Structure 1
Amino acid sequence: AAIPMSRFGKAVLLCLALFAAWRLCSTLFTAALPGPRADPAEGSDASCLPLAREVGVRAAAGTGSNFVFSPLSIHAALAMVSSGQRRSTSCTARRPTSSSAGSTAWRRRPSPAACGSTGGWRSGQSSRPPARRYGATAESVDFVSGAEQARLRVNTFVADATKQLIRDLLPPGSVDSTTVVVLANALYFKGVWSHPFDVFTAPFHVPGDTTVGVPSMTTGRSQYIALYPGFRALKLPYKNDAWQADEYMLILLPDGGTLSLADLYDKAVSTPEFIRKHTPVEEVPVGRVMVPKFKFTFGFKASSDMQKLGVTRAFSGGDFSGMVSGGDGHGRVSISRVYHKATIEVDEQGTVAAAATVILLDGAALEESKPPHLVDFVADRPFLFAVVEERTGAVLFLGHVVNPLMCG
């Protein structure tokens, strides 16, 4: 006969089970992450920052448009490609990303704030789909007779994975009878500020010597602020009840007339450690604090920019025999198109953001200066922002705001 267990014994058993599950998840995911001092060029999303700079500077030119981009999402998609290619692929041609390092950038430690999904669709010629190595089930589709249905299936996958924030990523005609493999990943993030903000209307200076009134966040609490030559930085941590707070938003605000957004982009991509080294580490008393609320979406076709940055082999018939077999091409297909779209909403409660990337394959730090007794951080002009995971330094999202009222 079974021996009845006391209520205390059941509680102890439950705690042991939960602890064992936590240790298992922590081991599986944390072991896949690069160490704090790992070379980002060897597999983190830092190698994709030059692509963000290329597109961001172009978006900010002239009167400018808002911009948001996920280096992590782009890197994860390329990591799947690399796992099926004899020679690996990265955002820049300087130092290729290995497939093992690629997997570390996507298999993050579980967090209530962020989650990712991967998917793969292959023709009958494809084998060993790399998406399976990233926790996704690959599907076989007929791109010859069902190209449009395949496109809709990919778009549905992305929309579901991003809670309907990213829709219609693949435009009509993007998938056709020459498509062999489609790889996709999606990232969804929702973070609540450690301390919510008050809201008021404040002036914001947009390009073209125009000032608009925008709903803005403010607080009298001490904040993580640091001053650097030509710009200042504000760190806004997100609350995380289940884990130690890992994610935060970093805002880089150029001093008026000293630096442009392009200058800040140059600094952000100058060294892999720039964002980590320019993240404030101490709270300081504040004078005036103002950060505008904003919400917008940005999408683009990344293929030409990636080739401009030196990624050419994968677009001109690389060896994908690890992914595709059969036929007389011996696996020598090529990347034909790369689509990326990201969206972000920031208000007094926190941040909701999402990003997705789909790849189609066819036949120096500056010295920090000591802040004064009270520090102002008034983001009343265009600025850069990033959503960062603190422990690994992974950049989940990067972008800029030139007009908080612009939603496109």
Structure 2
Amino acid sequence: MESLIAANIKFCFDFFQKISKDVHCKNIFFSPLSISAALGMVHLGARGDSAHQLNQVLHLNEFSQKESKQLDLCLKREEQEVHADSSLEGQKETTGSLPQQAESSKDESGLFSCCFGQLLAKLGRIKVDYTLSIANRLYEEQGFPIRPEYLDAVIEFYHTTIESVDFQKDAEKSRREINFWVESQSQGKIKDLFSKDAINSLTVLVLVNAVYFKAKWEKYFDSENTVDELFFLSENEKKSVKMMNQTGLFRIGFVEELKAQILELRYIKGKLSMIVLLPESSADNLKGLEELERSITYEKLVAWSSSENMSEKTVAVSFPKFILEDSYDLIPILQDMGITDIFDETKADLTGISPNANLYLSKAIHKTFVEVDENGTQAAAASGVVGTALSAPSWETFNANHPFLFFIRHNKTQTILFCGRICSP
């Protein structure tokens, strides 16, 4: 699973570079995990150049040979976990043998999908402490036959399915049906994923991808300490925001090469954390942020957030409240990254999904929602783990009153669930 995590983080930074390169002062929020899972569903049925392009962009070509030998073990673990969880409410029944489903694809695709199934299962088991809704589904035009083995694999590995709708005769009804499903999967927070006219009678295959996240802080911010303060985009451009404040024990570090602070804000029970990268304040704060964005890589983030660089100290934290809603048309972004054939009806090879050679992906939308406030994002009782005063008389200061990057991470697996940039709360 280590290669899956590394591939996901590398894809995260590649995707971030593409969406931020021409927009230097815009809030950004997306889920690399969710997009990777959605593309993984397509990759499972892609063949030829279509599969090769997905391999490259998702970094699946970097899966080592020795890890490919772990496929049988991965499949056995997945099968055991499916049987162990079969009594849980909402568990889908197995519709085929896992080894049979992956028998024809003992390669990066098989390992990738199996590992993804395990990862999604791990994340799903601990939702009692937070809400993480990853809504992935493929909608195909009626009349396109779907291979039974593909259906079996998608259900088992990605915990979703393909739905047949009538785009040709009633595109509007299909649009409403898709939007309703996404809204129900996201606690009502993600509405109108597809706007009017986004789906028409020519639509044949739609990839639906929506994510919703809510969690409580391990150490909540007292609302009485939230005050109006200035947030500085630059020396001459600033705005008033609601700034939360608290002093307590936090893991903090410093990235010398970029003159940036790194802070970990843990969510309840420590299963998830927000990792915040804050460049040093300057006359042009956006320039410092751009330098950070250009420099960040998977390997560097691992080093910066390691125990060698970060230690627990008493920190006076100032952090803005914010709500982010973001939406991306994935097709032009992914085309720019090198995934082109699956969106071209003359080149797409999705014959692993359907024997119909004319199948191609005509729409792919990614929409997200996140809210950060004093309690985290969910009003509830405090966790009870409140930082107490230490004997040391001094403390460090972490004042996020200028643009910063943040990542929401699942700590046990080191998976980045979300990536964000705050330029203007």
Q: Could you say which TM-score interval applies, normalised by the shorter chain? A: 0.7 to 0.9
Give distance in 1, aligned partners of 2:358 and 2:246.
57
Superposed displacement of residue 212, structure 1 = 2.3
Whether the 8 Å contact between 1:76 and 1:103 is mirrored in structure 2 is no
Alignment TM-score, normalising by the size of structure 2: 0.72
Whether the 8 Å contact between 1:233 and 1:252 is mirrored in structure 2 is yes
Give distance in 2, aligned partners of 1:195 and 1:182.
41
Alignment TM-score, normalising by the size of structure 1: 0.75
2:273 is matched with 248
**Could you say if the C-alpha distance between residues 165 and 172 of structure 1 is closer, same or farther in structure 2, counting changes exceeding 3 Å?**
same
Letter in 2 for 1:72: L
**Could you say if the C-alpha distance between residues 183 and 91 of structure 1 is closer, same or farther in structure 2, counting changes exceeding 3 Å?**
farther
For structure 2, list consecutive stretches of 5 or more residues without a partner in the other structure.
62-107, 379-392
- The residue correspondences of 1:171-250 to structure 2 (distance < 5 A) are 171-198=195-222, 199-207=226-234, 209-229=236-256, 230-240=259-269, 245-250=270-275
Find the partner of 1:150 among 157, 174, 181.
Answer: 174
1:346 is matched with 372
2:45 is matched with 84
Find the partner of 2:421 among 396, 400, 403.
Answer: 400
**Could you say if the C-alpha distance between residues 280 and 237 of structure 1 is closer, same or farther in structure 2, counting changes exceeding 3 Å?**
farther
Superposed displacement of residue 219, structure 1 = 1.1
User: 1:125 and 2:152 equivalent?
Assistant: no
Give distance in 1, aligned partners of 2:30 and 2:234.
21
- The residue correspondences of 1:220-369 to structure 2 (distance < 5 A) are 220-229=247-256, 230-240=259-269, 245-257=270-282, 260-268=288-296, 270=297, 272-279=298-305, 281=307, 282-286=311-315, 288-316=316-344, 317-326=347-356, 331-351=357-377
CA RMSD of aligned residues (A): 2.5
For structure 1, list consecutive stretches of 5 or more residues without a partner in the other structure.
1-33, 353-371
Q: Flag the structure with higher helix content.
A: 2
**Could you say if the C-alpha distance between residues 234 and 373 of structure 1 is closer, same or farther in structure 2, counting changes exceeding 3 Å?**
same
Tell me the secondary structure at the aligned position of residue 303 of structure 1. Answer: helix
Superposed displacement of residue 95, structure 1 = 4.7
Letter in 2 for 1:125: F
Give distance in 2, aligned partners of 1:140 and 1:122.
5
**Could you say if the C-alpha distance between residues 221 and 164 of structure 1 is closer, same or farther in structure 2, counting changes exceeding 3 Å?**
same
**Could you say if the C-alpha distance between residues 234 and 153 of structure 1 is closer, same or farther in structure 2, counting changes exceeding 3 Å?**
same
Tell me the secondary structure at the aligned position of residue 151 of structure 1. Answer: helix
1:360 is matched with none
Superposed displacement of residue 333, structure 1 = 2.9
**1:356-381 CA deviation, whole Å, 9 max, x = no partner?**
xxxxxxxxxxxxxxxx9632111110
Superposed displacement of residue 260, structure 1 = 2.5
**Could you say if the C-alpha distance between residues 70 and 155 of structure 1 is closer, same or farther in structure 2, counting changes exceeding 3 Å?**
same
1:388 is matched with 409
